[in-house]
Structure formats: structure tokens, C-alpha cells
Chains A and B, each alone.
Chain A
Amino acid sequence: MSLHFENVCFTYPGAQHGIEAVTLSVEPGELLAVMGRSGSGKSTILRLTAGLLSGYQGRIAINGRDVAGVPVWRREVGMVFQQYALFPHLSVVDNVAYGLRMRGMSATNRRVRAMDMLERVGLTEHAGRSTTLLSGGQQQRVALARALAFDPKVLLLDEPLAALDAGIRQQLRDEIRSLQRACGATTLLVTHDQDEALSLADRVAVVDGGRVLQVDTPERLYTRPVSTQVARFVGHSSVMPGRVVGPNTVDVSFALLFADTRAFRPGDKVDVLVRPEHVQPDPLETAVNRLSGRRTEVRYFGATCRYDFIPDSAQQPLLCEGRQLAEQAIAIAPEHLRVLAA
């Protein structure tokens, strides 16, 4: 089962925001994360897929079939809501069996299927309990089992871990991933948490202002962002505004840096991006892109340290990361500098 968005536009009635010309595709069995800040339009994409919003332009197709005009209850999408949305008047097993009951499955068969799903999420012994007696993590597992119980064409996850403690988040992240793979469910995940998106998804779509900025694998999104906006959103980075002054040379006001500028012409305004872990502390005098200066703030994270280093004549510090701290100078290899259009 696949999901396709083709040039989909939607504006909320009486408001200016929504999504603009969104084109996305989720291939069968793939997990695509839509990542963006609050109000970026990511939840709109999810709700349009589910059919909870209507009145859009463009085409949304589930498994090749246009779903325009198909009501929510006939779309065959399983959705996990941010606050779980478990039915408080039903037991755990009845919650999981609800979708099967709506499809007219016999009581015996739906109980067998619901118990099977509960076994997969490790909640068999809680089957008869009220959902209000479960912990946040257990409630989220029930919501996941309920959404997958009727073999949906598409699984939609709306910030599934946002309401949980940091400790349980990592464990549930792994569980969601393994269950999604085991069920082979085509999945659309919406999140503002980049750790969640990068660690869970096969591909990630970064959205902002209702537009998709980049769709790529987590690795390429981190190493080859197409714009400064994406780079700032994914991981930590330092961005130095500058101007291309010659072949593979950028003037960043406090230094001339050597970097790949093949996509630009001399005189073009650019942003030069560097990830903190690519900054080399106290290099040799002969190192390329060597910048002398001084270290300021140091933040200790156990396995690593993140610190600020202000090159001589620079106004803003560069963010650096590593176990060894720079004392007097840093260097950035040209292949680790990414030049982006300003």
C-alpha cells in the first residue's frame, strides 16, 4: 500500500495558514517522517490523509486510488493520536477490537485478533483492565495495537511519543519501529522531534510554512541539507554568511575559507555551514581553513563536550564538539564545509 500527495494545497477556513503545493510519496512498507515546528503544516498533512480535514486542492491517493470524497471511516487508515485517544468506557482489549467490531467481525474472532495484537505489544495481562489504569507508555502501546489491529492501508502516527517521559521514549521508539516493520505498514509519522524523526524514519520530509523543504534519507538530510533552513532544523550547526570571491574561496568577513563553490559564481552571497563535530581542535600551523581565536562557553555532555570558539575578528562564535577542547585555534576541512545559497 502506498500514499501519494500531488500538489496538495489546503487553507484553514478563516485563516491564512495551511499547506501549499505539497508533493510527497510514501512507498509500501516505508516509514516517512514529516518533521517541522509547531504550525508548520505537518499535522495538516496527517489530518488530510486521514480525511479529518476536507476541502483541499490537488490529489491524495492511497494505494493509487484518489480518496477525494471518501469519508474518514472508509479510508482504512489507522491513526495513533498524540494524547492516545483511548476510549475510557472500554477495556484495553475492547479498545483494540473496536476497529474490528466496526467491520462486523464476530466477537470471538475479534477477541482472538485483539489478544494477538496485545501480545505483540506485551500487554496481554492488561487485556481486561480499564485504560485509565495504564501508564502513558502502556496507553500508547494500546493505541498502536488498536490502529494496527484491522490491517490498515496506511498507519498515521501523530507525535506518538510527545506526551511520554524521555526514559520510555527511546524504548517505545524501538518498539514502534519493530512493530511497523513486522506488520509491513506504510507509515506516515508527524513529529517536531528531530531525534524521533531521524532514528525512526526511512525518509524524512522537512516542512516549514506549509511547504516541503526537503525529502531525503536521515543521513543525507544531515550531511547534505539543501538550504540553511533545513540545516538549522536538522542537528546543530554554525552558519557563516559570506560571499564567493574566487574559485573555491569564500570570504566570511573574518577569514577566507576554502570550500566547494562549484554551484556558485564569484560575487554570489552564500551561507557556509559547518557541523560542530567536524571542527578540528588545535590543528597544525599549515592546516587548511585554520582559524585562531579563543574558546568561551563549554557544555559537558558526558561522552562529549560542546563548546563555543570565537575566531579572531569574528562577531559570532562557532559551535564545536568533541572530547578534546580547542585552546587557541581550530580548522575545518574543505570537504566538511557546505556552501548554500543565502
Chain B
Amino acid sequence: MQTPVAPAIQPSVPLRRGFRRPVSAGRIVLQLVVVLFSIYMLLPIVLLVIGSFGETWTNTVLPTGVTGHWFADLAADTSFRRAFGVSLIVALACCCATAVVGLPLAYALHYRALSGRGLTARLVALLPVGVPGLTLGFGYIAIFSGDTLPWLGSLPLLIAAHTVLTLPYLTQTLLSDLRHLDIERLEACAATLGATPLRQFITIVLPNLRQSLFSGLVMVAALSIGEFQVSNLIAGFRYRNYPVVLLQAFYGATGMACAATVVLLCLAVIATFVSVNTVQRLK
């Protein structure tokens, strides 16, 4: 039996063992930009986490000593506990309100866009994103500080303001899903099968929008919990939300302020994980 012989390598064919693509200057610059951006994004968060466990932090680059009492102090502080509760109530109420208003609004905007008449309505719906928060806040002060509508500082007004601010984010999420699903074809099909418009909405539109509705509401909750600009202007002493109290904490002990910020950050991270996991499960 003949032993197979490996073909001889011709001298003219260069061996390319361990060949690596040449690294271009553009690639290096790109990687550098990514690294710098990551540092820019992560450094404040890392410093906050370090600060929340530091004993003292005055006129030094990093805090000195290690402690966990800032979190204990935070839990014991009634103003923080109350602000945390207010933030959760406002976020929850805001989610309910945006869902009740946002679903039919997105549905109507979708059909107006299909008939070529949606531009004005869409601009109005997106206005809260484009208009600076300060403008909205001053508008609320002007309207609700008088004797006719003396609601400045009340909880319902805070919820209403958060609803106006966060509504565009939910409607945009729903609108992109409506476009993607080609919902009008599904509705037409349901109609031929005997579904009235209300039953089409309940049995076809709502179940198909559940993913975007959920992820949109998580975004609404996250935005509401972190909202400072308008809340600082319109929230009264009784209904200050978490970010407003948090700012005042920075005038006191740095460790306490860092711990309070870390709690807010944890809420945002949890919300993101819950959102991603639930959307994947719904798929």
C-alpha cells in the first residue's frame, strides 16, 4: 500500500503562518475613541460607587476609609424614604396614565400617518421632547400658581407633568411596533373573520403590542423616577421626588449623596434588566 505523500510546497509560494492583518491608523483612532468614551461614561459612576462606601471625601481625589453606614443613614432618613415613595407613586401613576392616553394616541397617529395627515399630530405629540423642561416648568408655574387653578405643589399636577413629559417616548415605541407589525392588515383580516372594531383592538392590536407597551412603560417609569428639571419647579415640599431631595443631599455629606445616587442608579439598572428579560420572554 502506498503511503500518501504530502504535496511539496513550491518555493515561490510564501508561507503565511501567524499572518495578521495590518493595523491601520484609522482603526487605532476608532478604538481610542471607544475607550475614551467608555471612560467618560463609566468614570462618574465608578466614583459615585466608591464615594458611597468612603468614610470621608474632602479635597482628595478619592475618599478615605471604608464604610457602609451611608446606606443605613439613607434608609433611616425620612425625607429620602418619603421622596422614594413619592417617586414610585408618581412613576406608577405616570405609567397608568401614559398607557391609557398613549395607546389610543399611537393608534390614532398610526392611522393618520397612513392617510397622509399625521404630520401635525405627530409634531404636537413630540413637542414635550423638543421643548426644554424649564419652559414646561415655568408654564406650569404660570398656570397653576394663581387662585383659579391653585394646584402647584400637588401630587396630581406632578403626575400630570411627568405624563406629558414621558408620553412621547411611549407613543414612539408603540408607533414603531405598529408600523413593523403591519397592524392594519391583521385588523382587516380579523374584520373579515367577524371581529368588530372593538374586538379587533382587544384581541389583535393589544396582544400584539404587549412587548412594545411593556418596554415603553419601563422607559416611562425610568424617565419619571429620574426626572428633576420640571419636578424641582413644580413639586411642593410634601411631594418632592427622589432626584429633588438627592440634589439637596449634595450640600451635606458627600458619602450620603453618593449612596443616594447609587440607589437611583440601581433602580435604573433593575428596570433595564426587567425590561429586557420580560420582552425576551414575551417573544
Contact = CB atoms under 8 A, between A and B. Distances in A.
B192 A50 contact: yes
Interface string B159-195: 0000000000000000000000110011011111111
Interface residues of B, number: 19
A150 B193 contact: yes
A81 B194 contact: no
Nearest to B208: A89
A296 B177 CA distance: 55
A102 interface: yes
B191 A81 contact: no
A73 B196 contact: yes
Contact of A85 (B188, B194, B196, B203): B188
Given A89-B207, A102-B199, A83 B185 contact: yes
A146 interface: yes
Contacts of A146: 193
Interface in A42-79: 50-52, 71-79
B185 A81 contact: yes
A264 interface: no
A99 interface: yes
B204 interface: yes
Nearest to B192: A79
A52 B187 CA distance: 11
Contact of B194 (A50, A87, A89, A150): A150
Which of B182, B194, B207, B210 is packed against the most chain A CB atoms within 10 Å?
B194
Given A85-B185, A102-B199, A77 B192 contact: yes
Contact of A72 (B182, B191, B203, B207): B191
A72 B204 contact: no
A83 B185 CA distance: 9
Nearest to B191: A72
A99 B208 contact: no
Contacts of B192: 50, 52, 72-73, 75, 77-79, 147, 156
A88 interface: yes
Interface string A124-153: 000000000000000000000011001000
Contacts of B208: 87-89
A102 B186 contact: no
Contacts of B203: 98
Contacts of A98: 190, 193, 195, 203
Contact of A99 (B181, B186, B193, B204): B193
Contacts of B196: 71, 73
Contacts of B186: 85, 87
A103 interface: yes
Given A71-B196, A87-B190, 7 more contacts: A52-B192, A75-B192, A77-B192, A81-B188, A89-B208, A98-B190, A98-B193
29 contacts: A51-B191, A52-B191, A71-B196, A72-B192, A76-B194, A78-B192, A78-B193, A81-B185, A81-B188, A81-B189, A83-B185, A85-B188, A85-B189, A87-B190, A87-B204, A88-B181, A88-B208, A89-B207, A89-B208, A89-B210, A99-B194, A102-B193, A102-B195, A102-B199, A103-B194, A146-B193, A147-B192, A147-B193, A150-B194
